[in-house]
Amino acid sequence: MSKMIDEVKRTHSCGELTAADVGKEVVLFGWVHSRRDHGKAVFIDLRDRMGVTQVVFEPGFDAAAHELAGSLRLEYVIGVRGVVDSRGGNINPKMKTGEIEVHATGLEIFNRSEALPFVIEDEVNAEETTRLAYRYLDLRRPAMQRMLMTRSKINQLTREYFAQNGFLELETPFLVKYTPGGARNFLVPSRSGSGKFYALAESPQLFKQLFMVAGFDRYFQIVRCFRDEDLRLDRQPEFTQIDVEMSFVTQDDIFTAMEGLVARLWKELLGVDIPLPIPRMEFDESMRRFGNDKPDLRFGLEHVDFTEVVRAHSGGGVPLFESILAQGGIFKAIRLPKAHTLSRKEFDELEKDAKGMGSAGLGRAKIGEDGSWSQTPFAKTISDALREAINAATGAEPGDTLIFQMGRAAMVHAVLANIRLTLGKKFDMIPAYGTRDGDWRFLWVVNPPLFEFDEENKTWVAAHHAFTRPHDGDVAHLQSDPGRVKCHRYDLVLNGFEIGGGSIRLHDPEVQKKVFEALGIGEDEARQKFGFLLDALKFGAPPHGGIALGMDRVAMLLTGAQSLRDVVAFPKTLRGTDLMTGAPGEVTAKQLEDLHVAPITKNETPAAS
C-alpha cells in the first residue's frame, strides 16, 4: 500500500517547475530517468510525460530519504516530496527545468524495475525488434511520448475543426459483408452464421455514401481501417483515416474543407503557415514529370520523355531502341547535372535496384565536351542525329549524366520514379524538415483515368472503385475508348507521400450502368456485390463526394518520424506480426469447430474448389 499516494496529491508535473516556483513545497511522481550518486549527494532526474526535473537528496534535507535514494535504480517509479530551490550557479541550460531543482524531504519507492533491455533515452539505441518486443518501455522514451501526444492533438484538432464547420461525427461498422475487388479483406468467421464470414472494413466507403443518401450531408469520422495487404514503411494492416463525405458539393468545396483542416493542423502543431490554396497538378503531368502520382516536389531531377524523339529518328540505328519502339514501349531519362557524379559502383547499385523492379537494365550516358556519349554501350551504334536530339530534349550539357529507362510504360515509370528518389536522397537534395521554407510541398493530383488496363487478364478494371464519377465529356467514351476516360478523383500529396484521396461519386444510375458495362460487370454481379448501394442511389441520392486522409501518415510527417510504426502505439512488423503479443496466434481445433472452419493439417492438400 502506497502511503504517499494516500497522504498527498501530486502537485506538479516533471516539466513545469520554473524559477518562479522557488520556495514551494511540491510532490512529484515519476520514473528515475537517470541517477548520479555522489555518496553524500544523490542527483535523480525524475521523468514523467511532461518532462524531467532534477531531484537532490542530501542528509541535510532528509536523512531517511537520502539513505533510501542510494538504492534507486533506473526506471524505479517513485514519489518525491521536497522544496523547489534555485540551482544558483549550476543552471543546466539544456533542460527546460534547468534553473531549479527539488530538495527532497521525502521519498517513496512505488515499484522497482529490473535491469532494462535498453536505455530509455531519446536517441534510438536499440534495434526496432527489441523496441517492439518491449513496446511499453519504448513508449516511455520522451521522443515516443511526443509522437503519441501529437497524435492525440491531431485527433482533438480534427474533431474541433469539423465540429466548427457543421460536420457530424458518425460511426460505421467494422464487421461488414465481404465484397470482392479492392484491397484484400481480413475475414472473421461468424460463430452463429454457420460457415459464413464477416470482413473487416477496408474503408467506410459505402456506408459513408449511405449517410449522404440518408441526408447527413456533412460527415466525418476518425476511423480504423483494415487491409490484408503486404506492408511497407508507410503501410500498416490496420490504420486510421480521417474520413469525410459531403453532399451538394463540387471538388473545390471538398478541397477547401480539407485545406482548412491541413492548414489548421500545421499551424497549431508546427506553427507553419501552409499557403492556400494548395496547388494542383494533372495526373498525366505528374506521371510524365515524376513517374508516379505522388511526386516529391522538394527537388528536381524530373523525368524527360524522349519517346517521340526516338521515333522521329526511327531508333537511330540502335537495334534495342527499334525493338522497344516496335513493342510500343516508351523512353525516359533523368538528367543528373555535372555537379553530381556517380561512380561505377554507385551506378551498378542503381541498376540492381532497377532490375529488382523488372528492368532489363539501366542505361547511362556521360556527356562529353562535344556532346558525345561515353560510358554507354549505345555510343557506337547510335546515330549522331539521334544522340544530339536526345541531348537537346533532355537539356544535357557537357559533364552531365543521362540515366535512361525504356520499355513498358508502367515499368519505366516505376523504375525512374524510384531512381529519382534514390538520387535525391543520395545527393542531399531533400531538405530536412524545418530547415528551409517550402519544406512542406502539398499538392493535389487531379483527373486521373477512371480505368486501368489489367495486363494479366486483358480487361479494364476500375483504377480505384467503380463509384467514381467520370468527366461528363468522357461519358461518351466509356464503351468505345475506356482508357481515355478521366474522372473526378483526387489525391492529396505531401513530399512524396500520398496522405489522402477521394472522389466525387457517381450518383447517376444511368452512368453507373455504363461504368459497370465497361468493366464487364453484369447486372446480376453488380446486384450481388453492391446491391444495397445501387438500391440506395435510386431513392434520391444527392450529388456527393468525399475524401479520406491517412491520419498515421499525417502524424508521421508532422512529427518527422522515420516510419509509420513510430506514430502507431502498438504497430505490426512488415510481416504483420506483433512482436510483443505474438499475434497472430494459433487457435484450438475446438475453436475452429465452433466457427465452422475446417482445420487444414500441414500435409493435407486443400480440396480443389
Partner RNA sequence: GGGGUGGUAGUUAAGUCGGUUAUAACGUCGGCCUGUCACGCCGAAGGGCGCGGGUUCGAGUCCCGUCCACCCCGCCA
Neighbouring residues of 551: CB distance < 8 A, sequence distance ≥ 6? 151, 154, 155, 158, 222, 239, 240, 241, 242
Q: Considering beta carbons, is residue 436 or 575 the nearer one to RNA? A: 575
Measured from the CB of residue 46, what is the shortest distance to RNA in angstroms?
A: 12
- Nearest partner of 335 among 264, 277, 281, 391, judged by Cα: 391
Q: Considering beta carbons, is residue 16 or 58 the nearer one to RNA? A: 58
Measured from the CB of residue 398, what is the shortest distance to RNA in angstroms?
A: 32
CA–CA dist 576, 380 (Å, integer): 50
Measured from the CB of residue 84, what is the shortest distance to RNA in angstroms?
A: 12
Q: Considering beta carbons, is residue 50 or 74 the nearer one to RNA? A: 74
Measured from the CB of residue 278, what is the shortest distance to RNA in angstroms?
A: 16
Q: Considering beta carbons, is residue 98 or 317 the nearer one to RNA? A: 98
Contact 217, 542 (CB under 8 A): yes
Query: What's the half-sphere exposure (Cβ side, CA atoms, 13 Å) at 575?
Result: 6
Q: Considering beta carbons, is residue 241 or 495 the nearer one to RNA? A: 241
**399 backbone dihedrals φ, ψ, rounded to 5°:** 95, -20
Integer CA distances (angstroms), 184 to 204, 226, 230, 453, in order: 15, 9, 10, 20
Q: Considering beta carbons, is residue 311 or 352 the nearer one to RNA? A: 352
Measured from the CB of residue 486, what is the shortest distance to RNA in angstroms?
A: 13
Query: What's the half-sphere exposure (Cβ side, CA atoms, 13 Å) at 42?
Result: 26
Measured from the CB of residue 484, what is the shortest distance to RNA in angstroms?
A: 17
CA–CA dist 90, 254 (Å, integer): 55
Neighbouring residues of 387: CB distance < 8 A, sequence distance ≥ 6? 316, 371, 372, 373
- Which of helix, strand or coil describes residue 212? helix
CA–CA dist 187, 201 (Å, integer): 10
Q: Considering beta carbons, is residue 5 or 109 the nearer one to RNA? A: 109
Specify whether the backbone of 112 is left (phi greater than 0), alpha (psi in -120 to 50) or beta: beta
Measured from the CB of residue 570, what is the shortest distance to RNA in angstroms?
A: 13
Q: Considering beta carbons, is residue 117 or 368 the nearer one to RNA? A: 117
Q: Output b/e per residue, 420-449; b: 16+ Cβ within 10 A.
A: bbbbbeebebbeeeeeeeeebbbbbbbbbb
Q: Considering beta carbons, is residue 231 or 475 the nearer one to RNA? A: 231
| Bridge-based pairing state of the strands 280-282 and 330-336 | unpaired
CA–CA dist 396, 404 (Å, integer): 12
CA–CA dist 534, 429 (Å, integer): 49
Measured from the CB of residue 178, what is the shortest distance to RNA in angstroms?
A: 13
Residues forming a β-bridge with 81: 27, 106
Measured from the CB of residue 234, what is the shortest distance to RNA in angstroms?
A: 7
Report CA 487 to chain centroid distance, whole Å: 25
Place of cell 540551482: 87
Q: Considering beta carbons, is residue 368 or 483 the nearer one to RNA? A: 483
Measured from the CB of residue 313, what is the shortest distance to RNA in angstroms?
A: 30
Q: Considering beta carbons, is residue 492 or 526 the nearer one to RNA? A: 492
Measured from the CB of residue 225, what is the shortest distance to RNA in angstroms?
A: 8
Return the number of other C-beta atoms located less than 10 Å from residue 337's C-beta. Answer: 15
H helix intervals, 189-239: 205-214
Q: Which three cell numbers stand for residue 584?
A: 497472430
Q: Considering beta carbons, is residue 313 or 489 the nearer one to RNA? A: 489
Measured from the CB of residue 85, what is the shortest distance to RNA in angstroms?
A: 8
Query: What's the half-sphere exposure (Cβ side, CA atoms, 13 Å) at 346?
Result: 10
Q: Considering beta carbons, is residue 116 or 320 the nearer one to RNA? A: 116
- Nearest partner of 236 among 15, 561, 478, judged by Cα: 561
Measured from the CB of residue 38, what is the shortest distance to RNA in angstroms?
A: 4
Q: Considering beta carbons, is residue 241 or 391 the nearer one to RNA? A: 241
- Nearest partner of 359 among 424, 410, 314, 310, judged by Cα: 410
Q: Considering beta carbons, is residue 128 or 474 the nearer one to RNA? A: 128
Place of cell 520554473: 18
Beta strands in 457-560 (DSSP E): 459-462, 489-494, 497-504, 544-550
- Which of helix, strand or coil describes residue 501? strand
| Bridge-based pairing state of the strands 51-57 and 100-111 | parallel
As to burial, measured by CB atoms within 10 angstroms (0-12 exposed, 13-18 middle, 19+ buried), residue 465 is middle
Measured from the CB of residue 406, what is the shortest distance to RNA in angstroms?
A: 16
Measured from the CB of residue 302, what is the shortest distance to RNA in angstroms?
A: 18
